[in-house]
Structure 1
Amino acid sequence: MQSVKNTVLSSVDKHREELVEFLRKVISIPSVTGQEGEVQAYIADYLRDRLGLRVDVWEPSLEELSKHPGYVPVDRGYEGRPNVVGVYNGAGGGRSLLFNGHVDVIPVGDESSWRHHPWRSEVKQGCVYGRGASDMKSGLAAYTFALLSVVEAGLKPRGDVILEYTVDEELSGNGTLAAILRGYRADAGISGETSSMNIQPACIGRIWFEIEVRGTPVGVQRKWEGVNAIHKGYKLVQAVDDFEQIRLSEVRHPLYPDIREAIPCLVGVFEAGSYPSAFPDRCLLKGSLATVPNEDSDQVKTRLKEHIQAVASTDPWLRSHPPVLRFKG
Structure 2
Amino acid sequence: MASQPSLLTLAERQVTETLERRRGDIVDLAATLVGFDTTASRTGADGGEVPALQALLAARMQSAGFEVELFVPEPDDLPASRMLAAGHDMTGRPQLIARRPGTGDGRSLLLNGHVDVVEVGRREAWSSDPFRARLSAGRLYGRGACDMKGGVAAMVLAAEVLAELGVPLRGDLSLNTVTDEESTGAGSLACVARGLHADGCLIPEPTSGQVWLGSRGVLLPTVEVDGRAGHTGLARGDELDGPGVGAIERILPILEAMRGLREQWWAQRGPGETPGWIVPTHISAGEWIVTFPDSCSVQLHVTYGIGQADADGWGTAVEREVEARVRAAALADPWLAAHPPRVHWSTDVPSGTISADEPIVRTALGAAASLEHHTGITSQTTWIDAITFSRSGTPAIGFGPGDLANAHTVDESIDVSELVRAAQALAVCAMRFCGVAGERSPRPRSERTEGVAQPAGLLAAP
Same fold at TM > 0.5: yes
From 297, 318, 323, the equivalent of 2:341 is: 323
From 7, 10, 13, the equivalent of 1:3 is: 10
Q: Which amino acid aligns with 1:43?
A: L
2:298 is aligned to 285
The answer to whether residue 65 in structure 2 is matched with residue 52 in structure 1 is yes
Within a 5 Å distance, the mapping from 1:97-136 to structure 2 comes to 97-136=109-148
**Structure 2 residues without counterparts, runs of 5 or longer:** 1-7, 43-47, 236-241, 310-314, 348-462
**Pairwise CA distance, 1:312:** 1.8
**Pairwise CA distance, 1:315:** 1.0
Q: Describe the superposition over 1:179-201 as per-residue Cα deviations: whole angstroms up to 9, x where unpaired.
A: 00000000111122111211111
Q: Percent identity?
A: 27
Within a 5 Å distance, the mapping from 1:48-87 to structure 2 comes to 48-49=62-63, 51-65=64-78, 67-73=79-85, 77-87=89-99
Q: 1:236 to 1:120 in 2, by over 3 A?
A: same
| Count of residues paired in the alignment | 322
Equivalent pair of 1:99/1:164 in contact (CA under 8 Å)? yes
From 36, 53, 62, the equivalent of 1:39 is: 53
CA distance in 1, matches of 2:173, 2:106: 10
Q: Describe the superposition over 1:157-198 as per-residue Cα deviations: whole angstroms up to 9, x where unpaired.
A: 111111111111111001110000000000111122111211
Within a 5 Å distance, the mapping from 1:1-329 to structure 2 comes to 2-33=9-40, 34=42, 35=48, 36-49=50-63, 51-65=64-78, 67-73=79-85, 77-223=89-235, 224-252=242-270, 254=272, 259=274, 263-296=276-309, 297-329=315-347
**Pairwise CA distance, 1:294:** 5.0
Equivalent pair of 2:61/2:68 in contact (CA under 8 Å)? yes
**TM-score where L is the length of structure 1:** 0.91
CA distance in 1, matches of 2:178, 2:302: 23
**TM-score where L is the length of structure 2:** 0.66
Q: Which amino acid aligns with 2:15?
A: V
Q: Which has the higher contact order (CA 8 A, sep 6+)?
A: 2
Q: Describe the superposition over 1:28-64 as per-residue Cα deviations: whole angstroms up to 9, x where unpaired.
A: 1110013323322222222223x23211111112223
**Structure 1 residues without counterparts, runs of 5 or longer:** none
CA distance in 2, matches of 1:57, 1:253: 45
Q: Which amino acid aligns with 2:287?
A: S
Q: Which amino acid aligns with 2:335?
A: W
Supply the RMSD in Å over aligned alpha carbons. 2.0
Equivalent pair of 1:267/1:286 in contact (CA under 8 Å)? yes
Q: 1:193 to 1:70 in 2, by over 3 A?
A: farther
Equivalent pair of 2:97/2:175 in contact (CA under 8 Å)? yes
**Pairwise CA distance, 1:279:** 1.3
